[in-house]
């Protein structure tokens, strides 16, 4: 089956620190990979995506590269802000008729001034 493993939080960083949230996956078939973000009290927003090996997804200063050889999709940001405080979910879906999304457990990030 499909599964996503990501580091458990919480992760606490000072403003302007470097962020890495690790994510690895197992999938039957060729997955598309995603990072979703959930701000406090809000729903799920797509942060970035990559649909094939070596693709780099990027958005709002966040980046993640689809690494097929290591089955990983680590999220990085060079300089975090207080406004980045949220829960980050790594996820995958396998291309097919429909796109059931499999989520990781989520990593809570807290950025302090």
Partner 1 sequence: EPEVTQTPSHQVTQMGQEVILRCVPISNHLYFYWYRQILGQKVEFLVSFYNNEISEKSEIFDDQFSVERPDGSNFTLKIRSTKLEDSAMYFCASTQGPEAFFGQGTRLTVV
Report the interface residues with partner 1, using CB under 8 A: 32, 34, 36, 42-46, 49, 51, 89, 93, 95, 97-106
- Shortest distance, position 106 Cβ to partner 1, whole Å: 6
- Shortest distance, position 77 Cβ to partner 1, whole Å: 21
Per-position DSSP letters for 41-104, written without gaps between them: T---EEEEEE-STT-EEEETTEEEE-BTTTTB--EEESS--GGG-EEEEEEEEESSSS--EEE-
- Shortest distance, position 69 Cβ to partner 1, whole Å: 21
| 15 or 42: CB nearest partner 1 | 42
């Amino acid at each position: 089956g499909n599964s996503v493993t990501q580091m458990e939080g919480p992760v606490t960083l000072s403003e302007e620190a470097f962020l890495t949230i690790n994510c690895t996956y197992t999938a039957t078939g060729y997955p598309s990979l995603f990072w979703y973000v959930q701000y406090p009290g809000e729903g799920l927003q797509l942060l970035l995506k990559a649909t094939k090996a070596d693709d780099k997804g990027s958005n709002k200063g966040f980046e993640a590269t689809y690494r097929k050889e290591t089955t990983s999709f680590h999220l990085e940001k060079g300089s975090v802000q207080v406004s980045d405080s949220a829960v980050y979910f790594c996820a995958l879906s396998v291309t097919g008729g429909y796109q059931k999304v499999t989520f990781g457990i989520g990593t809570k990030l807290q950025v302090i001034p």
